[in-house]
Chains A and B, each alone.
Chain A
């Protein structure tokens, strides 16, 4: 994974204090950001439904598949990543297990804990959906990133920040 841009940004803004009011262009950037996010989420929901999944089911498949190497997809972890209640994850898992998309596996040696794995069927749905999402995100990322630059640059960093990530996307 390319970490260069994010690392640079973290350094750049370290210690910068954001003011309590926004300028006109900053409001515009925030509105633009939310608009692009909304459109991306709409795209994502349509893509999930066209693959025969509820949007929430797609997000659970992705959350399991996208767990970092050392992480186990327990109900607690999934609740945090999906930002839904514990019991909602359980209900979601029940529906998905019934459809053969995931299965619960007992953790050894402590069998009180279960974690979630994708079935072959769950695995099969994900690659194409994720490819569409990656493409969509790559196409929307430059404008999201430009909006974020405008919002987080603040006055001090403005000149230096103008060329960070937005420009990288422009030549695509």
Chain B
């Protein structure tokens, strides 16, 4: 099978190395969250609020999308974070039916500590990703294999 021959031993090694690095990073962040008294999901909710571009709040719908969970799961998560004093619900001034989720001072503080810690751990993950998957030749060969538009330039160029 010609298509299968396109995956080389080095491809497998790069895929496996990336996943191993990713798992180590995720485990590191989960342990950090738990040590700070948060569940990993609560930590990710705080980050989703803080990382929202251009404003300091998110809607429940945005929580669900950011965390890739269902609406009712997002509601439950916000409930628990509110109970723990990490976020607050405030009414949308333009639409009273809509709720905005904002960070409390305590939520800000714990997120800042976790984020600084986790960032330092990202170096190794970057190496596992950057080399094999972002370089030109590899990306080019993949787009060919999947039927995406080929790169305009020659792979050797």
Contacts and interface: CB of A to CB of B under 8 A. Distances in A.
A143 to B, nearest CB: 10
Contact of B133 (A80, A137, A148): A137
A135 B129 contact: no
A63 interface: yes
A35 B126 contact: no
Interface in A143-157: 144-145, 148, 151-152
Interface in A31-59: 31-35, 37-39, 42, 59
A120 interface: no
A32 B119 CA distance: 13
Contacts of B20: 63, 80-83
Interface residues of B, number: 63
A2 B9 CA distance: 14
Nearest to A133: B15
A151 to B, nearest CB: 5
Contact of B15 (A31, A37, A66): A66
Contacts of B12: 62, 65-66, 126, 130
Most buried by B among A127, A131, A172: A172
Given A82-B23, A137-B15, A27 B50 contact: yes
Interface string A17-28: 011111000111
A155 to B, nearest CB: 14
A2 B112 contact: no
B131 A3 contact: yes
What are the 10 closest A-B residue pairs judged by CB atoms, nearest first?
A31-B51, A66-B16, A2-B135, A127-B4, A6-B131, A141-B133, A66-B12, A135-B146, A83-B23, A138-B142
